[in-house]
Amino acid sequence: MSQSAPLPDAVPTNWVDRRAPAALRPWLKLGRFDRPTGIWLLMLPGWQAIALADATYGRLPDLWLMLEFFVGAALMRAAGCAFNDIVDRDIDAKVSRTAGRPIPSGQISVKQAWGFIVGCSLVSLLILLTMGPLAIGLGVASLALVAAYPFMKRITWWPQAWLGLTFNWGALLGFAAANGRLDLSAVLLYAGGVFWTLGYDTIYAIQDLEDDALAGVKSSARRLGADIPRGVAGFYGLSLVLTFAAYVWAGLSFLFLPVFALYATHLILQARRVQADNPVRALALFKANTWAGVILFVAFAVGALGF
């Protein structure tokens, strides 16, 4: 693969390969800015929690706090991806989808990648320090989840579950940042998000089934095998139950319900369409979860209305 070519799971017309200066492209690819789906999937649990927290007081989500979560998610996702690539550089070199990434392909050294991580983390810390003590504590605690994630595929068949714990931490952080406290609705939203991520990342892992088997990498997709569609349906079903419970506990208005029904339909259709032997469809279904997350955010936002 040419070092200037788009990576396999990036849109061929992505802005990094089309618009960014050549010298910056490896750095932007290291942070996955050519594949922004992950930014949305990391950010949206935070947005959903902000909407949930504000809706309990009958108000719409705080736009400034949402902006902070957008920037923070983009930077921390970039730092997390770079750390993951440092740890996985030898495995990535053996997998066709990841061999062209900046570290295994030699475009960026490990030392340079560490500098990138430190820079992204420091800016993220400045954003975190604008929030309350509980939110700051939760933000710092998330680093343990981030640090452990790259090693999960070596020790468990369910690294996607650990990713769920990590990617949805923003649900707790967002609620705490908006309200200065946590309650059961935030915990239920977090738990629902964990199963949502377990579902969509199992779909994502379909792309690497053969390469992961050759490299000895574990995943929920490999563990489920032919039962992937039923597994994804089960994960999404649990996610819907827990998320609905968050709505009930928070006591939001009935306007939440029709938008939530649209969210549920989105997940059900994904589970019906997923195929273990169709990696192209798997990538498309995975990316569609950006819209699923936006729909759920809107559901909580409108739940503030109609009291």
pTM assigned to the model: 0.91
The answer to whether residues 266 and 297 touch, using CB atoms and an 8 Å cutoff, is: no
Q: 118-174: per-residue pLDDT in tens?
A: 999 999 999 999 999 999 999 999 999 999 998 998 899 999 999 999 999 999 999
Look at residue 96 in the predicted model and tell me its pLDDT: 77
Q: Does pLDDT of 39 surpass 60?
A: yes
Q: How far apart are CA 240 and CA 192, in angstroms?
A: 7
Cα atoms in the 13 Å half-sphere on the side-chain side of 200: 28
Look at residue 238 in the predicted model and tell me its pLDDT: 98
Binning pLDDT at 50, 70 and 90, where does residue 196 land? very high
Closest-CA residue to 52 (of 184, 229, 153, 169):
184
Strands (E), the chain: none
Look at residue 160 in the predicted model and tell me its pLDDT: 96
Look at residue 190 in the predicted model and tell me its pLDDT: 98
What is the percentage of the chain residues whose pLDDT exceeds 70? Answer: 97
Domains and CATH numbers, the chain: 16-302 (1.10.357.140)
Q: 66-112: per-residue pLDDT in tens?
A: 999 999 999 999 999 999 999 989 888 887 788 889 999 999 999 99
Look at residue 1 in the predicted model and tell me its pLDDT: 45
Look at residue 3 in the predicted model and tell me its pLDDT: 53
Q: What's the average model confidence in pLDDT over 177-195?
A: 97
DSSP result, 78-145: HHHHHHHHHHTHHHHTTSTTTTTSTTTTTSS-HHHHHHHHHHHHHHHHHHHTTS-HHHHHHHHHHHHH
- The radius of gyration computed from the CA coordinates of the chain, to the nearest angstrom, equals 19
